[in-house]
Amino acid sequence: MRVDDRSRGAVAIIANARGDLLLHLRDDLPHIAWPGHWSVLGGGCDPGESPREAIVRELDEEAGLAVEDLVELFEVPDVHGSGRLLTFYAGVWDGDAEALPLTEGVKLAWVAPDLLDTLLMPPFIRTALHRYLADRS
């Protein structure tokens, strides 16, 4: 079965040198997937766009962020939200999260991995973050 562009997306797990993760607090609007939840930056693929192209565009559009050497990790479906098959990428960036020009959502913040389970977060994002952290150790 071929997954078309409209049902694909890409997200990025961004870590800093300390190992903190860059998380995005989503707007609390009823018409978006996972309103008011903490997540990672990313979004859907535009027609004809690959997941890699989409994550580079989304990072720039959402936060003015350019991350070198993004590594493709795995794919996870967002079954209970957008319905998209999301390709997860990982990258490293050291900077001030609050200084980024956020264009959607409430805020960006560095979060220590041991605090992940205290945040309201889509279950598939939480699972993916724990998988990423386990693979790193």
For residues 89-109, average pLDDT: 96
Which residue blocks in 12-88 are alpha helix, DSSP H?
51-63
For residues 48 and 5, give the distance between their C-alpha atoms in angstroms, rounded to a whole number.
7
CATH architecture type of domain 5-136: Alpha-Beta Complex (3.90)
Which of the four pLDDT bands, split at 50, 70 and 90, describes residue 72? very high
Report pLDDT digits (tens) over 15-44.
999 999 999 999 999 999 999 999 999 999
Q: Which helix (H) or strand (E) holds 136?
A: helix 123-136
**What is the value of pTM for the model shown?**
0.92
For residues 96 and 30, give the distance between their C-alpha atoms in angstroms, rounded to a whole number.
29
| CA-CA-CA-CA dihedral for 73, 40, 55, 65, to nearest 10 | -120
